[in-house]
Structures are given as structure tokens and as C-alpha cells.
Amino acid sequence: MRRRAKVDANQTTIVDALRCCGASVTSLAAVGKGVPDLLVGHAGRTVLLEVKNKDLPPSARGLTLEQQIWHAEWRGGTLAVVCDVESALRVLKVMEA
């Protein structure tokens, strides 16, 4: 039996902010295996976001080994790590360019 997906405490706030800016957001947290937390569509583009909690100490907010491997092997579009609403909204700005 698979354990319940772990979601960072700030993920809901980030998702709400992205949606308020017109993005579509789907949580991929339940997939596990290093797959990023969010699939985000905005301005006709798609990005994967890995959410980390900036309130945790740096040693606790790094990528897990599974995430490091998945990120290194990813051959698709944009993949970003965000830790707060501001960094997530910066990703949206880049998507608009």
C-alpha cells in the first residue's frame, strides 16, 4: 500500500496564487518517485514545479535523491524549484515572455 503523498506546507498557498493569476494547476504529488509536485499551464506553455518550503532549514529543503535523479533525467520542457509565492510568480512571468 502506498503511503499518502507528502505535500509541503506552502504548496496550497502557491497553488492558490498561481490560479489567481490565471494558471491551471494540477498536483502530481501523489505520483511520487521524484516527479515534481505541480503541473502548471499558463500563457500557452507548460512547466513542472517542485515545491520546497523556505521555512525549513536548508538541509531539509533540498531535493531528495529520487528528485535529483528525476530532474537529471528529465528531457522535457521547463522544470523549476520554487519555495514561495514570489518565486512561483516569477516562473509565470518567464512563461509569458
Average pLDDT, the chain: 91
* Global pTM value: 0.90
Work out the percent of the chain whose per-residue pLDDT is above 70.
95
**Residue 3 is placed in which grid cell?**
503511503
Count of CB atoms situated within 10 Å of the CB of 62: 12
Domain ranges of the chain: 11-96
DSSP state letters, 37-76? SEEEEETTEEEEEEE--TTS-GGGSSPPHHHHHHHHH--S
Work out the percent of the chain whose per-residue pLDDT is above 90.
77
Q: Tell me the CATH number for domain 11-96.
A: 3.40.1350.10
Report the relative pairing of strands 79-82 and 45-51 from DSSP bridges. Answer: parallel
Q: What is the pLDDT of residue 83?
A: 95
Identify the band that residue 23 occupies on the pLDDT scale cut at 50, 70 and 90: very high
